[in-house]
């Protein structure tokens, strides 16, 4: 994906003691960019370029926390009209004797 592209993620949290966790208690976070939202289903487009681990966490009601994680890679933005290589090898020598 590229910077600014929307991401939609969903999670459900359930405890045999208390049932489904309220949506507002599911907290989403990127290890690179910090908080990205709360809820069972979130949509965001704020990730910066790089590899992120996005986690959904919820308190278990007994002092602990349950977390699920997913890796997401955001490609660097390419500027229009710019090229990393101009396609020429003028001035370069290639040694094929090895």
37 lies in a domain? yes
52 lies in a domain? yes
Q: What are phi and psi of 11, to 5 degrees?
A: -150, 155
Q: What is the pLDDT of residue 35?
A: 96
Name the pTM for this structure.
0.74
- Whether the pLDDT of residue 84 is over 60: the answer is no
59 lies in a domain? yes
> From the centroid of its chain, how far is CA 18?
30
pLDDT tens, position by position, 26-72: 999 999 999 999 999 999 999 999 999 999 999 877 788 999 999 99
The total of structural domains in the chain comes to 1
68 lies in a domain? yes
Q: Residue 30 belongs to what H/E stretch?
A: strand 27-30
Tell me which residue range forms the domain holding 31. Answer: 7-74
79 lies in a domain? no
- Which of the two residues, 77 and 30, has the higher pLDDT score? 30
């Amino acid at each position: 994906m590229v910077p600014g592209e929307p991401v939609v993620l969903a999670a459900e949290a359930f405890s045999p003691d208390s049932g489904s966790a309220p949506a507002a208690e599911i907290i989403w976070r990127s290890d690179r960019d910090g908080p990205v939202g709360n809820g069972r289903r979130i949509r965001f487009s704020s990730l910066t370029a790089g590899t992120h681990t996005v986690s959904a966490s919820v308190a278990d009601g007994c002092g602990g926390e349950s977390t699920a994680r997913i890796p997401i890679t955001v490609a660097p933005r390419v500027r229009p009209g710019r090229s990393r290589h101009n396609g020429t090898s003028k001035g370069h020598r290639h040694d094929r004797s090895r």
